[in-house]
Amino acid sequence: MVKYVLEDLLRIRNFRKDRAEKDLKQAQRLVVEAEDNVKRAEQALEDFKVFIVEESNRLYKKVLGQKVKKEAVDSLNAALSALKNKLCDYEKMVENEKENLEKAKKSLEEKRMALQEANKNIEKISAHKEAWMKEAKMEEEMLADRELEEFTGKKPERG
């Protein structure tokens, strides 16, 4: 049997398909990881919100009902301001993780599409190979028939 003329191309397309499958699996892992990161960031934010309430209450109790100097009030305000700034940092962290998750999901969809394209390319060349192989087999049979006819002088009967 004659070797398929596009066998090298088929091998390359199979390699690309395998690579696309690996890329898809990696993208799936990255989405799961990004989802976990979002959950952790959201949990850290919620934990910090609870901490802010407790810490604010503790700081206010420290100065309420007492005569305090202006410096103590300024210190209290600075501590509360620092907590609010830290809360903003946690909120930004949550937003960043959500953005990373969206990027990972977009990448996953791109990898899915690339795998679909690779499968489609393989299907095309496989269909071509099948048709080509049938034609090559028919040509070989016809050649064998001609050779037999030349050798024996009779046409072989097919049936």
Say if residue 150's pLDDT is above 90: no
Query: Could you tell me which of 1, 10, 46, 23 has the C-alpha nearest to residue 116?
Result: 23
Are 31 and 104 a contacting pair, CB within 8 Å? yes
DSSP single-letter state for residue 91: H
- φ/ψ of residue 67, rounded to 5: -80, 125
Give the CATH number for residue 147: 1.10.287.1700
Say if residue 141's pLDDT is above 90: no
Asked if the structure places residue 159 within a domain, the reply is no
Sequence length of the chain is: 159
Asked if the structure places residue 55 within a domain, the reply is yes
Confidence of residue 159 (pLDDT cuts 50, 70, 90): low
pTM of the model: 0.74
CA atoms of 29 and 119, how far apart (whole Å): 21
Report the half-sphere exposure of 74 (CA within 13 A, side-chain side).
3
CA atoms of 31 and 12, how far apart (whole Å): 28
pLDDT tens digits for 24-77?
999 999 999 999 999 999 999 999 999 999 998 988 888 777 787 888 888 888
Q: Which two tokens stand for residue 43?
A: 């949990």
Q: Which two tokens stand for residue 53?
A: 């309430």
Say if residue 158's pLDDT is above 80: no
Report the half-sphere exposure of 108 (CA within 13 A, side-chain side).
16
Number of domains in the chain: 1
Residue 155's pLDDT is: 60
pLDDT tens digits for 96-117?
999 999 999 999 999 999 999 9
- Domain span at residue 128 reads 7-152
Asked if the structure places residue 157 within a domain, the reply is no
